[in-house]
Amino acid sequence: MTGTTNVTAFSSPSFSLHGVGVSSGIAIGHAHLVSNALLEVVHYQLPQHLIEDEIQRFADAVATVKHDLEHIHESLRKNAPAEISAFINTHLMMLADKSLSETPKDIIRKELCNAEWAIKLQMDEVVEQFEQIEDDYLRERKQDVIQVVERVIKVLLGHPHQLSSEQQTSALQQERKLILVAHDISPADAIQFKQHEFAAFITDVGGVTSHTAILARSLNIPSIVALQKARDLIHDGELIIVDGKQGVVIVNPDKSILTEYKLRQEQWELEQQKLQRIKSTKAITLDGENIELFANIEVPEDVVAAKASGATGIGLYRTEFLFMNRREMPSEEEQFIAYKSVAEAMKGQPVIIRTLDLGADKQLSGESETECANPALGLRAIRYCLSEPQIFHTQLRALLRASAFGQIKILIPMLSALSELRQSKLLLERAKTSLRKENTPFNENISLGGMIEIPAAAINAEAFATELDFLSIGTNDLIQYTLAIDRTDDSVAHLYNPLHPAVLKLISLTIKAANKLGKPVSVCGEMAGEAKLTKLLLGMGLRQFSMHPSHILSVKQQILHSQVNQLAHHAKKILALSDIEKIEPLLTKFYTPIEMRAKARH
């Protein structure tokens, strides 16, 4: 169950909370509540003669937060996940933006109010702008705004922005038994918590694409988000169990439940150790089918984690990060350097780079934002790029230039019509022509692929496969558009199900179309990293998966125990079903008797 909070009573005062598990694992420990400064903000007016002092108090708070973030960045360990540095840089950029650093001063002058209230008012306005964004990943960036503002408010309220010495001593004594409970946790805070090796964290808000979720997966910390009321219902020091895989938090468990979960925890940790043994093993099925396991990345530094996981290529490089949180588009040279660094780091292995996925509702700054009645169906991704040919031309030139330094492939997102693809090809050829005139080297035969994430494209997959070099199935959006469900909306998120018959049929249709024409096809959405779905996808004919690096070994384990001929038979039976309730039980047919006994022990 995801997206909603469900409280289930055990023997009083035990109860459980259900949210969205974003990082697997089991943690058992005592709750450590993290303050939510935003809930403590009150409004009060100031006399005119104190306004300049209040503005200076605000400026000092911003400077303090800037110093803290810079200190955290400088003190990062060399082996810290690349995401952390990027997240902190994002927060520093947001803090430097005038909408957060200067506009609150104007509000203080105009409203004669306290600094806390002024920055909260401004935060609400900025967050509202983010709410209009259709793209799940970019819409989640509103959490970064909230986290930055929360840090400023904590300083204004006089709260410690780091653990006190007393808390640090306590953490050193029982650090692996403490579970952080918060309304939200910023990446900058999370890295400090990681240095204390806390067992896990759970939050009231957040989604599967939030920075906190991404960070949790990269650090391999069991965590659950979207619990809604955890911060209010859980008391400091209470014993809790966090089951990241199931998305369940059990508060004050009784003896039998605690014993059961301690056993599960030991088994999970043992499994994680065993997975490391197959890190260098090739992903080949029992009947000799070679499977490609690629990694999804967001910034060039993510390549470190991708290579460490054993990924044999980059299946999806989201270029949006280069364009986010800035007033100007990145130059061709800046983009070229980023793309080139990834290509060189992968040393000849495939690097599939997705072109810009921004839209009319996703401008570089709130000032340039235009309203869209239904942003999910508006001007985004390739539609946006075709409407802004100069921006697209700049990115295509940068991609082509970088292709001289590795096996770069270009991926076009959100295709719905062949006309969009053909226009994209014309613009790609125009970019090639401009480089030829300059005698700038690039790969003349660079591969061009398309994302299948709109039902219309899946239904017409064979036509797209005919004109493309490869296909990539974006299951996150495909599910959302097929089922007409906003997966970020708590009220309907429980209906977001990758096993819906219509979704499976569209995926199967796409795979068959690509295989028929001999074109590579991959799944790069969350489904690719779900180990329980690996055998189903193999049975449907998928031979290339792209996922977060932390999921690669668990998926590889499933592949090594698979025999695709048998899986194809089971997959055919599932695809013939029209009742979603009958599909999940049939997934057990994909496991051998030995595997079933292993699962039973868990």
Which ranges in the chain are annotated with CATH 3.20.20.60?
A: 288-601
Q: What is the pLDDT of residue 73?
A: 78
Between 547 and 192, the more confident residue is 547
Task: Identify whether the C-beta of residue 355 lies closer than 8 Å to the C-beta of residue 316.
Answer: no
CATH class of the region 38-157: mainly alpha
Between 365 and 466, the more confident residue is 466
Q: What is the pLDDT of residue 522?
A: 98
Among 524, 548, 551, 570, which one carries the catalytic annotation?
Answer: 524
Considering 11-15, 165-169, 310-314, 378-382, the range whose residues carry the highest mean pLDDT is 310-314
524 is catalytic: yes
Between 403 and 37, the more confident residue is 403
Task: Identify whether the C-beta of residue 30 lies closer than 8 Å to the C-beta of residue 178.
Answer: yes
CATH class of the region 8-35+163-265: alpha beta
CATH topology for 288-601 is TIM Barrel (3.20.20)
Q: pLDDT tier at 323 (50, 70, 90 boundaries)?
A: confident
The reported pTM is: 0.69
Q: What is the pLDDT of residue 433?
A: 98
Between 412 and 207, the more confident residue is 412
Q: What is the pLDDT of residue 360?
A: 35
- 275-289 mean pLDDT: 94
Among 91, 211, 548, 570, which one carries the catalytic annotation?
Answer: 211
What confidence tens digit (pLDDT) does each residue in 380-395 have? 899 999 999 999 999 9
Nearest to 65 by CA among 42, 45, 46, 37: 37
pLDDT of residue 492 exceeding 90, the answer is no
Which ranges in the chain are annotated with CATH 3.50.30.10?
A: 8-35+163-265
Burial category of 218 from C-beta neighbours within 10 Å (exposed 0-12, middle 13-18, buried 19 and up): buried
Q: Which of 101-105, 178-182, 208-212 has the lowest mean pLDDT?
A: 208-212
Q: What is the pLDDT of residue 367?
A: 43
Distance of CA 263 to the CA centre of its chain: 30
Between 251 and 37, the more confident residue is 251
Q: pLDDT tier at 193 (50, 70, 90 boundaries)?
A: low
Q: pLDDT tier at 4 (50, 70, 90 boundaries)?
A: very low
Between 532 and 428, the more confident residue is 428
372 is catalytic: no
d(CA 323, CA 394): 13
Q: pLDDT tier at 139 (50, 70, 90 boundaries)?
A: low
Nearest to 183 by CA among 217, 206, 155: 206
Structure tokens at 141: 């960036």
Which ranges in the chain are annotated with CATH 1.10.274.10?
A: 38-157
The conformation of residue 284, written as its DSSP 8-state character, comes to B
d(CA 228, CA 221): 20
- 400-422 mean pLDDT: 97
